[in-house]
Structure 1
Amino acid sequence: MNNRPYLKGFAAYLKLERSLSENSIQAYTNDVEKLFQYFEAHDKEITLNAITLKDLRAFLVWLNELGAQASTQARVISGIKSFFNYLLQEELLTDDPSALLETPKIARKLPDTLNFHEIDALINAIDASKPEGMRNKAIMEVLYGCGLRVSELTELKISNIFEESEFIKVVGKGNKERLVPIGATALKLTKIYIEEVRVHATIKKGNEDYIFLNRFGAKLSRISIFNLIKSLAIAAGIKKTISPHTLRHSFATHLIEGGADLRAIQEMLGHASITTTEIYTHLDRDYLKTVITEFHPRA
């Protein structure tokens, strides 16, 4: 069966009606593609109306045999459920075979974090003598100081900086906007980069408002931020496997350890559910020991 028209329609639905980012749309359509690949691998010529819950469960067994982890299976199920929901809305199906499809239990993995000294070591590893030095310092301060996702950083615009109130407007998942406080250090370095470094760049048309630019005058890509942080970790002698998201984890964890309200952290991180934020309530043993020692009367 030719499923391409359905996937194109599904992608349009995700973009127009659910306002998802291009990365999310690609992930959802890739998940549905896996289902179609399963049918092809098993020589099953099957129409969408003929797909049953039994077929979907067999597909999950196939994924498991291929070595897909529970988290991957859960994400694929989410994509497939969204696909069938779209087909129902468009009246291309009368019943949803995925309605009773169970999501595998996922062990909640605690995110890796960096301590204050490791954050400082990363930033201090930046060579300020290089042309991109000030830009990179500003990037690191904003990532850690504001708890941004990497895509939120690359999309950050000059017009979304409110210097007097010390806030930035961030466009998160699903194009949802939120206001996030920006600390004095991050704001100062960003301002210096814009006014003293970026002002000399030849900016590519359409990129005039993006804050962080590459050497070609275009906005930075997500992969360039990943590469920057990996190189800084090596230079700083940090052995942990880290990414831009590690700075976001560290931002949230350090706020929790400092006594910040969980609802406030949820708002700053742009989490739709408080349960997502609660993963950051893990505290390291040394910190817990310090709390007991300082505050418990019998310590």
Structure 2
Amino acid sequence: MSYSTQVGEQLLTQLETSISDLCFDIPFIKLHMTLTGILSLYDIQLARLPGAHPDIRDKADQFLSAKRLEGLSELTMKDYALELRIFSQYVSTPINQIATTDIRDYLSHFENLKMSSVSKKLSVLKSFFAWLADEEIIAKDPVRRIKPPKKEQRLPKALTIEELEMIRESCITPRERALVEVFYATGGRLSEIEALNKSDINYQAMSARVIGKGNKEREVYLSYKALYHLKKYVLQRLDDEPALFITERRPYRRVSNRAIQRAIKVIAARTGIQKSIHPHTFRHTFATLTLNNGADLSSVQALLGHSDPATTQVYAQVSESKKREAYRKHLVQ
């Protein structure tokens, strides 16, 4: 696949996602064909600044090959490749002449991006240049002294118990209800749930094995409610597909991440809930409600597959009701 084709597909994906987020009643295949027809009239490529040095792209390819051998997921590899390709368009000097000021100038171009997005770009560059220094391709790491930007202090938007019930009641098909229950009960990531097979479910132990970030396997658990609706969905299927969740129309195949996102948005649209709801919302809800119900932080960290306790800590914000309860229970009057 050529570079321009990859960029065209990336743009098409972004357009489809943005438009489908706003228009629930447009059939996806019709939207895809319309946008494909429009984009076929153009020669699409990422904006290329004059003087981009091929040395960066060569070293980036070596770096990606090394990371692939370390077992990084395909999703992570794609993110790394895209960020390094964009970086190669901005810098016009050989890799061993890039200074800290060049990196800062590059990052400053993204003033309209969220700090979390800029932080992601910096994280990729830190990994890239640290590898270059370890391999002695460069004498000094120019990114080492750059501190990550301060992250926005925003709490993850979890569903309330009432909103969760509204979502459940808005499900029409067995697949919709099974999706909602499995996402909430396991606290799984979208990629983890999408990759599940029927054979991964242990009905006796009420658990499943998922492959998370860094290709790490962990056990997640299913509630009685999740198992009931999952069995109901699987038993009414007449296909031989190994995937746990499949398309609703022939030819049956594993449902894609994007199709799951659309399915959740359609369910959420029926409720009238104003907040944005997507698959990750159920992960936020799982973490928030279990912590508020008394689960300890280390257990929730293990269930979510977080390597850093600080990632889980963001969910440990005590709710107003919990604060009132603690005040009334423990205040000495």
Structure 2 counterpart of 1:209: 242
Partner AA of 1:10 in structure 2: F
How many Å apart are 1:72 and its aligned residue?
Answer: 1.5
8 Å CA contact retained: 1:233, 1:239? no
**Matched residues, percent identical?**
32
Structure 2 counterpart of 1:130: none
* TM-score between the two structures when normalised by the length of structure 1: 0.87
8 Å CA contact retained: 2:306, 2:312? yes
Question: Superposed, which structure 2 residues align to 1:88-237 within 5 Å?
Answer: 88-127=133-172, 133-197=173-237, 200-201=238-239, 203=240, 208-214=241-247, 215=249, 216-237=251-272
8 Å CA contact retained: 2:57, 2:88? no
Q: Does 1:15 align with 2:50?
A: no
Deviations 1:24-58 (A, max 9, x none): 1121222222322222xxxxx31001101121122
Match of 1:58 among 92, 100, 105: 105
Structure 2 counterpart of 1:296: 330
8 Å CA contact retained: 2:209, 2:220? yes
Partner AA of 2:313 in structure 1: E
SS of the residue corresponding to residue 220 of structure 2 reads strand
Match of 1:73 among 99, 110, 118: 118
How many Å apart are 1:69 and its aligned residue?
Answer: 2.4
Partner AA of 2:286 in structure 1: F
SS of the residue corresponding to residue 105 of structure 2 reads helix
Structure 2 counterpart of 1:5: 58
8 Å CA contact retained: 2:288, 2:315? yes
Q: Does 1:31 align with 2:105?
A: no
Deviations 1:193-230 (A, max 9, x none): 22222xx12x5xxxx43210113321111111211111
Partner AA of 1:226 in structure 2: Q
Number of equivalences: 278
Whole-angstrom distance in 1 between the partners of 2:153 and 2:196? 30
Structure 1 counterpart of 2:131: 86
Deviations 1:117-137 (A, max 9, x none): 11111121111xxxxx11111
Q: Larger deviation: 223-232 or 91-100?
A: 91-100
Match of 2:93 among 43, 46, 70: 46
SS of the residue corresponding to residue 157 of structure 2 reads coil
SS of the residue corresponding to residue 185 of structure 2 reads helix
Q: Does 1:251 align with 2:286?
A: yes
How many Å apart are 1:257 and its aligned residue?
Answer: 0.9
Whole-angstrom distance in 2 between the partners of 1:212 and 1:90? 43
Whole-angstrom distance in 2 between the partners of 1:160 and 1:231? 27
How many Å apart are 1:291 and its aligned residue?
Answer: 4.0
8 Å CA contact retained: 1:141, 1:185? yes
Q: Larger deviation: 104-113 or 146-155?
A: 104-113
User: For residues 24 and 281 of structure 1, do their structure 2 counterparts lie closer, same or farther at Cα, with a shift above 3 Å needed?
Assistant: same
8 Å CA contact retained: 2:292, 2:319? no
8 Å CA contact retained: 2:57, 2:85? no
SS of the residue corresponding to residue 20 of structure 1 reads coil
Q: In angstroms, what is the RMSD of aligned CA positions?
A: 1.8
8 Å CA contact retained: 1:122, 1:233? yes
8 Å CA contact retained: 2:207, 2:221? yes
8 Å CA contact retained: 1:13, 1:86? no
8 Å CA contact retained: 1:152, 1:170? yes
Whole-angstrom distance in 2 between the partners of 1:190 and 1:16? 36
8 Å CA contact retained: 1:29, 1:79? no
Partner AA of 2:142 in structure 1: P
* TM-score between the two structures when normalised by the length of structure 2: 0.79
Deviations 1:75-113 (A, max 9, x none): 111000111123234443232111212211113320001
Q: Which has the higher contact order (CA 8 A, sep 6+)?
A: 1
